[in-house]
């Protein structure tokens, strides 16, 4: 029986019944991650990339109090045009938005929840949230990490967003028992760059190997997800030293303006785009497409 708050697109519902490979996609990147119209163009291109690799895309969002898996082009356009007017929705926000029949753009955590309810095991995003810089005093830790610990969905990302404390993020994932898999690399990527100075738990070199690991994991224990770290293509990565200076300046600006909580990530990404003259946005688009392709290949390999 379908969950009472879940609404599947006809395409997603048919794919689930036919056991076709599906890939979940988030909507925060549409409403909060990029300016219009690049956000809509990118969302549609990501869906095309998934299709071209042999899987069915299921972009997720909260619309009129329903958890949606699979959006129409008009719904994606609506999210893109309304942007920051659409609430950013993580796990804690879901009950309120559903009870009030409101809309929400899904984060990694809430997209994982929707994907799990729909029976979708593979999810592609840009970068996960994690332990923020300075979290030893602020305790600012993304709900994405707890979701990875508890919800059985594999997330393909370009590591964690480099605005975070990557070392503490990896420590948290280790403590929670979340395997971090490097696709064709022993290095944990840092979103805009291919290396962070940290290592992954396991390197696997084909989508089929990753699919086999996920099958083994969930056969052994159905709880919890996995993080598949897929480095940004080499031609699209940005200079590591430049990005560290840029991120440090953006974080300092956020501190001066007192920006906290769910507002901080959109602020930092926008500030970094401004400081890099738009280059970070182009890298962001490239890595999302790269992750969507790999996620589809893993879903097909399952």
Which residues are designated catalytic?
Answer: 26, 161
Q: What pLDDT, on a 0 to 100 scale, did the predictor assign at position 270?
A: 79
User: How many Å apart are CA 1 and CA 241, to the nearest integer?
Assistant: 52
The DSSP annotation for 28-70 comes to: HHHHTSS-TTHHHHHHHHHHHHHHHTT-EEEEEEEETTEEEES
Segments in the chain forming alpha helices (H):
10-17, 28-31, 38-52, 73-82, 94-99, 108-118, 135-138, 143-150, 166-175, 207-220, 240-257, 264-275, 279-301
- The answer to whether residues 122 and 153 touch, using CB atoms and an 8 Å cutoff, is yes
Q: Which pair of structure tokens corresponds to residue 261?
A: 């909580």
Q: What pLDDT, on a 0 to 100 scale, did the predictor assign at position 111?
A: 98
Q: Which pair of structure tokens corresponds to residue 120?
A: 């979708």
User: How many Å apart are CA 126 and CA 137, to the nearest integer?
Assistant: 27
Give 46-98 pLDDT, tens digit per residue.
999 999 999 999 999 999 999 999 999 999 999 999 998 999 999 999 999 99
Check whether 178 has a pLDDT greater than 70. Answer: yes
Q: What percent of the chain has pLDDT over 70?
A: 98
Check whether 252 has a pLDDT greater than 80. Answer: yes
For the CA atoms of 117, 109, 14, 295, what is the dihedral angle to 10 degrees? -130
- The answer to whether residues 288 and 125 touch, using CB atoms and an 8 Å cutoff, is yes
Check whether 138 has a pLDDT greater than 90. Answer: no
pTM: 0.92
Query: What fold is seen in the domain 6-245+285-301?
Result: Indigoidine synthase fold (3.40.1790)
Give residues with Cβ within 8 angstroms of 50, minimum separation 6.
Answer: 23, 25, 56, 57, 124, 292, 293, 295, 296
Give 258-270 pLDDT, tens digit per residue.
877 667 777 777 7
User: How many Å apart are CA 145 and CA 161, to the nearest integer?
Assistant: 13
User: How many Å apart are CA 188 and CA 201, to the nearest integer?
Assistant: 9
Q: What pLDDT, on a 0 to 100 scale, did the predictor assign at position 180?
A: 98
Give 198-217 pLDDT, tens digit per residue.
999 999 999 999 999 999 99
> In which band, very low, low, confident or very high, does the pLDDT at 302 lie, cut at 50, 70 and 90?
low
User: How many Å apart are CA 143 and CA 148, to the nearest integer?
Assistant: 9
Q: Among 125-139, 197-211, 232-246, which stretch is predicted with the lowest mean pLDDT?
A: 125-139
> In which band, very low, low, confident or very high, does the pLDDT at 119 lie, cut at 50, 70 and 90?
very high
Domain boundaries, the chain: 6-245+285-301
Q: What pLDDT, on a 0 to 100 scale, did the predictor assign at position 88?
A: 94
């Amino acid at each position: 029986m379908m969950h009472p708050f879940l609404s599947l697109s006809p395409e997603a519902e048919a794919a689930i019944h036919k056991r076709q490979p599906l890939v979940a996609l988030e909507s925060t990147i549409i409403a909060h991650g990029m300016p219009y119209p690049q956000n809509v163009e990118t969302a549609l291109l990501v869906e095309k990339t998934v299709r071209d690799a042999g899987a069915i895309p299921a972009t997720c969002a909260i619309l009129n109090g329903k958890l949606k898996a699979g959006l129409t082009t008009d719904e994606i356009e609506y999210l893109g045009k309304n942007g920051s007017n659409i609430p950013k929705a993580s796990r804690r926000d879901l009950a309120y938005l559903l009870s009030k029949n409101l809309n929400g753009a899904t984060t990694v955590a809430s997209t994982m929840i929707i994907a799990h309810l729909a029976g979708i095991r593979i999810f592609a995003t840009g970068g996960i949230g994690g332990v923020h810089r300075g979290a030893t005093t602020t305790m600012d830790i993304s709900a994405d990490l707890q979701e990875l610990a508890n919800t059985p969905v594999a997330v393909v990302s370009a590591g964690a967003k480099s605005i975070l404390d990557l070392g503490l993020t990896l420590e948290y994932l280790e403590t929670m028992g979340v395997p971090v898999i490097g696709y064709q690399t022993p290095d944990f990527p840092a979103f805009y760059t291919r290396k962070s100075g940290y290592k992954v738990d396991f390197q696997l070199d084909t989508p089929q190997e990753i699919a086999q690991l996920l099958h083994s994991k969930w056969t052994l224990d159905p709880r919890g997800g996995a993080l598949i770290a897929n480095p940004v293509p080499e031609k699209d990565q940005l200079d590591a030293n430049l990005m560290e200076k840029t991120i440090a300046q953006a974080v300092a600006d956020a501190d001066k303006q007192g920006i906290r909580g769910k507002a901080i990530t959109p602020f930092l990404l926008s500030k970094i785009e401004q400081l890099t003259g738009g280059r970070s946005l182009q890298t962001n688009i490239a890595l999302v497409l790269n992750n969507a392709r790999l996620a589809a290949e893993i879903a097909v390999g399952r």
